[in-house]
Amino acid sequence: MQDKWQLATKVIHAGHEKNETGALVSPLCQSATFVFDNAEQGGARFSGDEHGYIYTRLGNPTTAELERKIAALEGSEAAAATASGMAAVSAALLANLKSGDHLVASNAVYGCTFSLMNSLLSKFGIEVSLVNFNDRAAIIAAIRPTTKVIFCETPVNPHLDVYDLNMIASIAKQRDLISIVDNTFMTPLLQQPIKHGIDIVVHSATKYLNGHGDVIAGLICASDEQMQVIKYEVLKDIGSVLSPHDAWLILRGLKTLDVRIARHCENAEKVALFLEQHPKIAKVYYPGLKSHAGHALLGGQMRRAGGVIAFELVAGYEQSLQFINQLSLFSIAVSLGDAESLIQHPASMTHSPYTKEQRELAGITDNLLRISVGLESAEDIIQALADGLARL
């Protein structure tokens, strides 16, 4: 029955199992360890001969429900909850890379993902090539005999480039590579990469999935085979697992994901149109606009364009910061997907790990701003931007 449900129903009901108390809301199992009936049962669980909970780092009923739910939403066989979005990215990569291997990734990614690839992986003898993922030939040219993984975000943080998932999946399958996509900006309600042939999907659940700005979390969706390695050869020993309380908060947040995403999208579409027509805006990056190169993928790969917009002011670096500082209604913060509208300056904030030259290659200019359009009245959001632009 659950397979036939629409996504709006799955965000509420998928993964939930009736509990012994009959509580409508899933109980929070806030326990670090679990008691065995006898020593033999403990040994059987550790050996894998018997299913059951041992220790929350290895599994927890509350976390397991969240994992079942996100797997149902993404259309994957299994899922793993992690302590942060970066824990999800790291675990997915480390499960599939070893010393001497090579990774091909898009040249624009979240700043900490870039830092992981550009600095940390090299310490373990893993090489990384960053290329434009809108260029099929460039991706293929970057692949080496040692390449094992291909990674991207779409839409891209921060400038909302959109990559063709069918194209990326086809390259990966032809070359026997593992494909990984960060789906944070879209959520499974707007995009399901696995249905386009992608092997692994990661999320920062801190963002839209939780939606209330009070949790740091990540999620990984993949096949059962992949998940055995991710959970029991990486997460188990690194220990970057999600706490039951945070899993419970995300389960609560997911119940409103469908209605929240609809409002985020509606507001963002109105805001993007306003910005595109304003004389003090040099360029707007939003896939919902017909002027955006990725607009053609709407209705196929993406159901809607999401709630994040990037734009370049007709201004320099200092004026861009002044615009942010004087803006009303918006909070200056680097996350996204919260009820509140947020604004940030990628070059000096989220993407500061990039050098100036690397930012230029990735298309991240000094006058580029990124906003996460919140759930407030669209009219009030637009008025706040209009007032700020008038003072610019």
For the annotated catalytic residues, the residue numbers are 57, 110, 182, 207
Query: CA 215 to CA 246: how far, in whole Å?
Result: 6
Runs of H (alpha helix) within 257-375: 257-276, 317-326, 356-362
C-alpha 244/C-alpha 28 separation (Å) is 7
- Could you tell me which of 326, 331, 351, 349 has the C-alpha nearest to residue 341? 331
ω into 279 cis (within 30 of 0): no
Is the Cβ–Cβ distance between 88 and 218 less than 8 Å? yes
Helix, coil or strand: residue 102 = strand
Q: Please, which residues bridge with residue 152 across strands?
A: 181
Count other C-beta atoms under 10 Å from residue 301's C-beta. 22
From the list 86, 84, 106, 211, the residue with the least C-alpha distance to 155 is: 106
Which pairs from 168-175 meet CB under 8 Å and 24+ separation? 168/133, 168/139, 168/198, 169/196, 169/197, 169/198, 170/197, 171/136, 171/139, 171/140, 171/143, 172/197, 172/198, 172/199, 173/197, 175/143, 175/147
**Angle at Cα 324 formed by Cα 152 and Cα 184, nearest 5°?**
25
Position of tokens 């805006």? Answer: 281
Q: Of 271, 279, 217, whose CA–CA distance to 91 is shortest?
A: 217
C-alpha closest to that of 280 among 320, 309, 318, 307: 320
351 neighbors 359 (Cβ within 8 angstroms)? yes
The residues, any chain, with a CB within 8 Å of residue 8's CB and separated by 6 or more, are 258
Q: How far is the first Cα of the chain from the last one, in angstroms, to the nearest whole number?
A: 55
Contacts of 267 (CB under 8 A, 6+ apart): 307, 373, 374, 375, 376, 378, 381
